[in-house]
Structure formats: C-alpha cells, structure tokens
Amino acid sequence: MDAFFIPFPVSPELQVHRLPMDHPGDLSALAKLLDQGVLRAQDVLAVIGKTEGNGGVNDFTRGFFTQSLMALLGTRLGRAPQQLLQEIPCILSGGTEGVLSPHYVVFARAEAAPDALPGPALALGRALGPVMDAQDMGRWAQVRQVAAAVRTAMADARISGPADVGFVQVKCPFLTPSLAESASAAGRPLGCPDANRSMALSRAAGAFGVALALGELDDDPALEAALLGDFSLFSNRASISCGVEVQACEVVVLGHSAQWRGPLRLACAPMADALDLGAVSQVLAELGLHAQPQLGERDQARVAAAFVKCEPDRRGRVRGARHTMLGDTDINAQRHIRGAVGGLVAGVLGDGRIFVSGGAEHQGPDGGGLIAVIAEVAQP
C-alpha cells in the first residue's frame, strides 16, 4: 500500500457507507455514491462485506465481487484493477444464511467538515505484510508478521496505543497444497497439509498476531504449540480470514484517535458462546444504544456497521444441549452457525445487514467469538 498517494488529510474523518448489492457483481450502490459526489473514489481505504455464496473453498462470489469492485474503482481512478487489488483491502465473508443480507461496508477517509464533531473519533489504518514464506505459514513467524503489520496499521491510523484499538480485521495467506508442493520441490518439505487445517492454523496465527500487537499475549515462540491447541488464549479484538488470493497478510485496524473527527465510534466485546445475547447488549450500551429488547428506529439509524465472529462449538454442545452442526453432511457447520448467530444479532439490531463470519479460532472465547459495532454518537 506504499503506492497509495493521497495525502493524509489535515483533519480526517472516517466515512462508513453500508451498501446493498443485488448480486455479487452489483456495485451500483457505490457507483451511485461516486456519481453523486457523496464519496470520492480516491478516498476509499477498504471494503468489508458479505456476499451470498456458501462461504467455503468453492465460494466464488468473493472473487466476483472483488473483481467488480476493482473494475469500478479502476475506471473511476484511471488505474489498473490489478494494482488496486494490492492497495485497497477488500475483505469478504461469503454466506448470508437466514436473515443476513448481502451488503458491503465502504470505508473512506476525507477531510472533515469544519463543523464535524471533534475527536477522538473512529480511525482506520491499513498495512500489508511482506510476501509470506510457505514455511512460515501457521507458525510463530506468521504471528510476528501479523503483529508487525498491526502496529504499522495503527501508525497509519494515527492510533496512539493498543488501548485505542477497537477491532482488527486481517486476511492471511495459508499453506495450500500447491504451495506445499512448490516448497517440496525446492527441497524444503513441509508435510502434506490438510487445506482445512492449514486455513484454521493461519487464522489462529493471525489471531495470535493481533493479540501480540495489542498486548494480549506474550511474544513467546513456545506458544506456537497453543495454536489450535490452547483455546484459553485468544484476542478479544481480532477477526481473521484467510484466502488463496493473498500472498501477504492484509491488516485493517479500526480504533479511536484524537487526530480524527466526526460522529463515529466503535465498541467491541467477546461473545462467550453462540447464545451470548448479553454481549450484544453490552456493545450497544457502550455506544449509548439501548435495545429493549430491540433497538428502536432512531437507534437503528445510528448504527453504521456490525461485525461478528462465531464458531460452532467444537465440543458438540451449546449450554449443555447437543447441537448437530458439526456432523451435518448436507450443510457446512460454518453456514449453520452464521445463520444462528446472525439471527440472534439481527434480532437485537433489528437489521440483517451484519458481517457475520465463521472460523473464529482464538478470536474471542472458545465456542463463542466477538461482536463489534460502529455507530454515531447520539445527537445532543
């Protein structure tokens, strides 16, 4: 992202646009904002969204959306889509089960209006790690690389310290069979990887990397054994995905900074399990939003975006009652849990436009996950 040449504004404000899509190739809502001048293409920092695929290895809605996004921005900026791909993180989770609605959140940085609320306000920073060696994937080296990228992104966001970081979204590469083959051919055999485990390990290492950067974990290489091993270790602010399409870790840090202005704030809380309705209420309460039991219309209008990580409990039970997510041959377990937790959170928010993502290893408590919400402060 070194090539990103838009100067940092004197007094930046983060704009957050939550936009609908009719299908994974539909960027018309963003095009309209650009046409109307509500948003400038060069201000776009990152996109996080949910597309309506299955969320698995063969979910191509993510690639379709990304290609469509970069084509649009490329046209508007007069730049090659392929290059934008290296500069603008586009992190997608497939799978809009149940009441979840396909949508994307566009984050843009612009000069704040003179009458904008003073900071500290919501801030966003980005960083791209170095191209990762196959032998480092899912290892402590990855943990450190992610931690370094998180620190870079914090600096990019002008966030002064870990306490001001609210939520970190990371996308990591993982040890694919073809990478393993190449390494093998180069005389550095890495064992025969199972793709699902490789992905889980990479997410785990990503989570540990965030935890390291935020001071939630020590930089102790012996903890490598705790990756997918000791689920009592986790970050409360990390959301990790991994994809074949990246060769380096992409990091987006959201938090608060005195240098930014505007009405947006973020709160984040761990979810103890898939039924942790209390965590949702708590996050909202921190933002001055009151769900009794659901947000009212005025409070709903203040919510700019919501992000959730969750996980089908690997012990096969939720609060003592057997669930059937893990043994279902017909529906992938991640689709199950997204639908269920999506229903719960949407019930409280009164809105299905929520980023709900599975694969929450070490991202929040074991069997649970976490929730982050961005909302405007109450108008006085």
The reply on whether position 324 binds a copy of itself by CB under 8 A is yes
Q: Which of 50, 68, 93, 171 is catalytic?
A: 171
Nearer to a copy of itself, 253 or 304 (CB): 304
Asked if 275 touches a copy of itself (CB under 8 A), the answer is: yes
Beta-bridge mates of residue 255: 123, 165
Window of 3-11, 164-172, 199-207, 350-358 that interacts with a copy of itself by CB under 8 A:
350-358
56, 118, 189, 221: residue in contact with a copy of itself (rule CB under 8 A): 56
Q: How far is CA 126 from CA 30, 71, 129, 138, in A?
A: 21, 21, 10, 22
The one among 91, 148, 337, 370 contacting a copy of itself by CB under 8 A? 337
Q: Which is nearer to a copy of itself, 85 or 253 (CB)?
A: 85
Window of 85-93, 108-116, 230-238, 334-342 that interacts with a copy of itself by CB under 8 A: 334-342
Report how far residue 159's alpha carbon sits from residue 152's, in angstroms, rounded to the nearest whole number: 10
> Which member of 136, 281, 286, 377 binds a copy of itself (CB under 8 A)?
281
Which parts of 114-153 interact with a copy of itself (CB under 8 A)? none
CA distance 254 to 122: 7
Among 13, 87, 97, 366, binds a copy of itself (CB under 8 A): 97
In which element (H, E) is residue 65 found?
Answer: helix 61-77
Q: Is the peptide bond before 221 cis (omega within 30 degrees of 0)?
A: no
Stretch that binds a copy of itself, among 182-190, 198-206, 337-345, 362-370 (CB under 8 A): 337-345
Catalytic residue among 241, 257, 309, 357, which?
Answer: 241
Q: Which is nearer to a copy of itself, 58 or 114 (CB)?
A: 58
Contact between 22 and a copy of itself by CB under 8 A: the answer reads yes
Q: Which among 31-39, 155-163, 210-218, 347-355 is the span making contact with a copy of itself, rule CB under 8 A?
A: 347-355
Q: Which of 12, 24, 173, 365 binds a copy of itself (CB under 8 A)?
A: 24
If one asks whether residue 294 binds a copy of itself (CB under 8 A), the answer comes out as yes
Q: Does 336 bind a copy of itself (CB under 8 A)?
A: yes
Q: Mention every residue, 6+ apart, whose C-beta is less than 8 A from residue 197.
A: 228
241 is catalytic: yes
* Residue with smaller CB distance to a copy of itself, 56 or 130: 56
**Position 74 contacts a copy of itself (CB under 8 A):** no
Number of residues in contact with a copy of itself, rule: CB under 8 A?
A: 68
Interatomic CA distance for residues 165 and 188, integer angstroms: 38
Asked if 327 is part of the footprint of a copy of itself (rule: CB under 8 A), the reply reads: yes
DSSP β-ladder status, 12-20 and 103-111: antiparallel
190 belongs to the binding site for a copy of itself (CB under 8 A)? no
By CB under 8 A, tell whether 27 contacts a copy of itself. no
What does the binding site for a copy of itself look like in residue numbers (CB under 8 A)?
20, 22-25, 52-61, 63-64, 67-68, 71, 96-103, 195, 274-278, 280-281, 291, 293-294, 318-319, 321-325, 327-332, 335-337, 339-344, 346-348, 350-353
Active site residue ranges: 171, 241
